[in-house]
Structure 1
Amino acid sequence: MTFSIVGRDGTSWGVAVASKFLAVGNAVPAAVAGVGALATQADANVAWKGIGLALLDEGATAEVALDRMLEEDDKRDHRQLGIVDVDGGAASHTGSACFDWAGGIVGDGVAIQGNILTGPEVVEAMKVAWDAGAGEQLSRRLLAALAAGDAAGGDKRGRQSAALLVVSDGAGYGGMDDVATDLRVDDHPEPITELGRLLDLNDLYLTASTEEERVPVTPELESEIAALVAAAGHPNLAAWVGTENYEMRVAEDGSWIDTRVLDLLREHRPGATD
């Protein structure tokens, strides 16, 4: 009922998943930065999320962790699991009792699996997209692979939900945790497309500006910004930023502003045209 991809790229680990099932992101993905990631599906054993990550944290490889989980589960033939460890080792399991079509592919840093699919072309297309995305942001790479699987046929029952989880050390909001991306579309006619829209918003609001995106605030620009925020009805830049939720994209001391945020501010000035 589900197809997923678990991947590691550099110092990031993540999972992307889609299904004709309500809120698939609630059941399938799990990841911890510096430890690994996994997807549990088919007759999903959600306890495997904690068990699998604990085994990886103790130093088990993906294959060893998978074998240990299977040994202790009497419904292993009904389960499906993809797992990637701290070093990018990957393993995938498809139980013999999973509904057709069911299967998976593993590669360096990636485990792809699905059940109740239109056929093997789904996971094959996902692997091609994953390989083609080398060097891209992991969230984008996983989403592209998920979209490729959907375009190849996906879940043969249709579409309902999708989710994307990516972790990396210090990548969370304000650098206070490791969750770079945690997005869910729980019930939607085009969940993967909607997930892409949410990822665009996530990158704007919840991802810190890169050095290349930071525009130094010169005295001239400071005067322009002050006039723009005043015209927008705010006493200063900090007040406008807090209202619009751009805290990750403007320096606390006002020394720089993100180029996209500056463009958005200018677009809303009186008399601005599209």
Structure 2
Amino acid sequence: MTFSISARCAKTGMLGIAISSSSPAVAARCAHAKANTGVVASQNITDPALGQKGLLLLGEGLSATDTLAKLLDGYEFTEFRQLAIVDRDGGTASYSGDKALGVFSTFEGKDCVAAGNLLANQDVPQAMVRAFEASTGYLADRLIVAMQAAVAAGGEAGPVHSAGMLVVDKVSWPVTDLRVDWHEEDPIAALADLWELYKPQLNAYLMRALDPTAAPNYGVPGDE
């Protein structure tokens, strides 16, 4: 039902996640990230509270491995959940309960981890990680590359209908928070197109928040 890639850029410290699912609005429930803290994908039969709690634990300085252990310790429904975590230093951890749906797997790489359930095959997360590791450039571009690699490797067993990407940097809000909440044909291609539209405007939106006197024109009627 879902596959995702969570990652850190070793050069910039940016953190992010890209995710897709057959369900609507997957990123609204499953994608969690905070600047200088980490990333948590809480998926399968989703409990968003695990993502929220995971970020709190990462914010206390726990590693991805220790955060995962804390999240699972005493938790009642571990067998239904799938988790993938990246900490601020690029450490990774992942977990799939034995009641995860369909074909499921996770794969951890350098500064990244991929996870999926109801997959076409178990190799999809590995393909995502290898594509991310081989890519260069801005973190969001690399996340898109990983998602496209998932599709090429078979993706989900059935059609996907939603996708999203969340990227955090040095400020308290996401610098990129893009969602395709429902698409009949190809939400990952739609997400890639949306990113290409947003990418050249990203820094302008950031500057308008930090110092509107130094920001470029707003691009609206009446703006000079």
What is the TM-score with the length of structure 2 in the denominator? Answer: 0.89
- How far the C-alpha of 1:152 sits from its partner, in A, is 1.3
Structure-2 separation of matches of 1:242 and 1:94? 45
> Aligned residue for 2:208?
none
- Classify the secondary structure of the residue corresponding to 2:147: helix
- How far the C-alpha of 1:205 sits from its partner, in A, is 2.1
> Aligned residue for 1:181?
176
- Classify the secondary structure of the residue corresponding to 1:207: helix
Query: Unpaired runs of 5+ in structure 1?
Result: 171-176, 210-239, 253-274
Structure-2 separation of matches of 1:56 and 1:73? 18
> Aligned residue for 1:242?
218
> Aligned residue for 2:116?
114
> Aligned residue for 2:203?
207
Higher relative CO (Cα under 8 Å, sequence separation at least 6) belongs to 2
> Aligned residue for 1:132?
134
> Aligned residue for 1:230?
none
Q: Identity across aligned pairs (percent)?
A: 36
Instruction: Pick the aligned partner of 1:197 from 162, 186, 193.
Output: 193
Q: Deviations over 1:175-222 (max 9, x none)?
A: xx442210000001210000011101111223349xxxxxxxxxxxxx
Q: Is the radius of gyration larger for structure 1 or structure 2? A: 1
Do the aligned partners of 2:110 and 2:133 also contact (CA within 8 Å) in 1?
Answer: no
Structure-1 separation of matches of 2:101 and 2:55? 26
What is the TM-score with the length of structure 1 in the denominator? Answer: 0.73
Query: Unpaired runs of 5+ in structure 2?
Result: 206-215
- How far the C-alpha of 1:244 sits from its partner, in A, is 4.4
> Aligned residue for 1:56?
58
Task: Say yes or no: does 1:149 pair with 2:150.
Answer: yes
- How far the C-alpha of 1:45 sits from its partner, in A, is 1.1
Structure-1 separation of matches of 2:140 and 2:174? 11
Structure-2 separation of matches of 1:139 and 1:72? 35
Structure-2 separation of matches of 1:50 and 1:9? 22
> Aligned residue for 2:7?
7
- How far the C-alpha of 1:131 sits from its partner, in A, is 1.2
> Aligned residue for 1:263?
none
- How far the C-alpha of 1:72 sits from its partner, in A, is 2.8
Do the aligned partners of 2:109 and 2:133 also contact (CA within 8 Å) in 1?
Answer: no
Q: Deviations over 1:130-185 (max 9, x none)?
A: 1111x311001011101110121111121100000000004xxxxxx442210000
Structure-2 separation of matches of 1:178 and 1:208? 15
Instruction: Pick the aligned partner of 1:85 from 84, 87, 96.
Output: 87
What CA RMSD, in Å, does the superposition of the two structures yield over aligned residues? 1.9
Task: Say yes or no: does 1:100 pair with 2:106.
Answer: no
Q: Count residues with an aligned counterpart.
A: 210
